Structure 1
Amino acid sequence: MIGSESPRDGRVETLRERKQRLTREALVQALLDVIAERGVQEATISLISARSGISRGTIYAHFPGGRDELLRAAYARLGEQLVERTRAAVSAAAGWREALAAHADAMFELAGDALTGHFFNVSGPTFIVDGAERGIGSGASARMIAATLDAARASGEVGADVDPGSTAVLLVGALREAAIRVSAGELDPERANLAFARLAAGLAAGRGAAPRPSSGP
């Protein structure tokens, strides 16, 4: 059967599968466009239908859960795009500090978008409280940061006492919290970038081992 290569898993998809995928992608993009223009509260099925030119019936055929299911798909799309941009920037980084800075740059660039960034960092999590969609960006970032720190520690550039996995989780948490404030207009992204760079710099070798927490009163 004539088909085309799926961009996600490399297998050959049928024409029907390709049409279904493109329709779903068009609907998700229409939702993101509506969010970018009006905000998530105004993103109704009617507006998505009007924006995409796809009937309400077809929307529900592809997303039986309606608006909630579409919101999950849109949230996942933003997470995937964030990971792609971050991974490309990390690959082009000259060193471990620049690689860590790439995570902040990508996150705060998305957060700085008035409506789409607000959806991903602030309003989205209130709608999407569980599921794989919530972990796409943070999970990938934590793994990439841990790999960067592990390599830097092995080369002696990062302190031998640094735990790559735990440190990565903490850094991702700091990025997420800062991104929430950037999205809400409470934190300037440039200041956030500088602060994150200073925080990351403290991991460099020669800074001295971190004190052990007290186990007693």
Structure 2
Amino acid sequence: MSTVQTVQFFDFCGYAGASGAEIPHQHHTIRDHNQPRTMSQKPAITSQRERNRLRTRNDILDAAAQLLGESGYAGTALEKIAALAGIARGTIYAHFPAGREEIVRAVYLRLAESVVERGVELRGQAEGLVDRTRALARALLEASADPRGRFYGIMGPDLAPILAGVTGTASRSFENFIRDDLLIAQQEGRLVPGADADALAEILNGALRAAGARAATEPESLETRIDAIGLLVAGLLNRPEPSTIGEKP
């Protein structure tokens, strides 16, 4: 059983404390980071030594992500990471000299990048405000429902100071995407009169975060919550949109 304490939700956004203030700063599955990116994204890894180093680094991050989801930060000890990754503890320091905190930040940033990449991919396949917002919801909820991404949806406050300064990238990206689509709908006369695109984008983004937190603890509710997001967005339109989504990815 997980010992993670639910505390509102972390971003994909940032820790919201008791005051609600943010600390600054698959089915799709989480992208396999042992696979090199395309040439446009990252230089090709040419030597076997470099490939092995990348594989070991990502084994460490995979192990840490799994432990964070199962046991929270307190249960993500270096000894457990090493055992799960099948390496010696000293090998961890060769990749992450600062130890556990550096690993946790790397896990978070890797997952945030994966969520944005997936969101961009799915949003690009959809048309219209409803389906494009559903696409973003799917990217976030699938990541949160994955055992290696569960900690992304819910975290304890002990991670707030560790992740301060690195959280918020995915959340801001998604809010901007939603705002852009709201403005397009508004310009085309499809949004209800008097709607404030900025305020609506912020609220819808919050709904995505709340749904992501629930998907982390109830992964079986993923499709229900994506549908709920779609219904919520559809209520902002003065006429229905044709769906561009057939089979769920």
Q: TM-score range by the shorter chain?
A: 0.7 to 0.9
CA distance in 2, matches of 1:165, 1:65: 40
Name whichever of 26-35 and 70-79 sits farther off.
26-35
Q: How has the CA–CA distance of structure 1 residues 6 and 100 changed in structure 2, closer, same or farther, with 3 Å as cutoff?
A: closer
Among 138, 142, 151, the alignment partner of 2:175 is 142
- The TM-score with structure 1 as length reference comes to 0.74
Shift of 1:17: 7.6
Structure 1 residues 117 and 126: CA distance shift in structure 2, 3 A: farther
Higher share in helix: 1
**Residue of structure 2 in register with 1:214 after alignment:** none
Q: Runs of 5+ in structure 2 lacking a partner?
A: 1-35, 241-249
Where do residues 53-202 of structure 1 align in structure 2 (5 Å cutoff)?
A: 53-113=86-146, 115-123=147-155, 126-129=158-161, 130-159=163-192, 161-185=194-218, 188-202=221-235
Structure 1 gaps of 5+ residues are 208-217
Greater mean alpha carbon deviation, residues 187-196 or residues 42-51: 187-196
Aligned equivalent of 1:204: 237
**Structure 1 stretch displaced more, 96-105 or 18-27:** 18-27
Q: Per the alignment, in what secondary structure is the counterpart of residue 159 of structure 1?
A: coil
Shift of residue 45 of structure 1?
Answer: 1.0
**Whose relative contact order is higher, 1 or 2, with alpha carbons under 8 Å and at least 6 apart?**
2
Give how far 1:7 is off: 6.2
Kindly provide the amino acid, as one letter, of the partner of residue 39 in structure 1.
S
Number of aligned residues: 202
Compared CA separation, residues 174 and 165, structure 1 to 2 (3 A) = same
The TM-score, its normalising length taken from structure 2, stands at 0.66
| Residue number in structure 1 paired with 2:20 | none
- CA separation in 1, counterparts of 2:41 and 2:136? 25
**Bigger shift: 197-206 or 116-125?**
116-125
Q: CA deviation at 1:170?
A: 1.2
Q: Which residue of 2 aligns with 1:39?
A: 71
**Based on CA coordinates, which of the two structures has the bigger radius of gyration?**
1
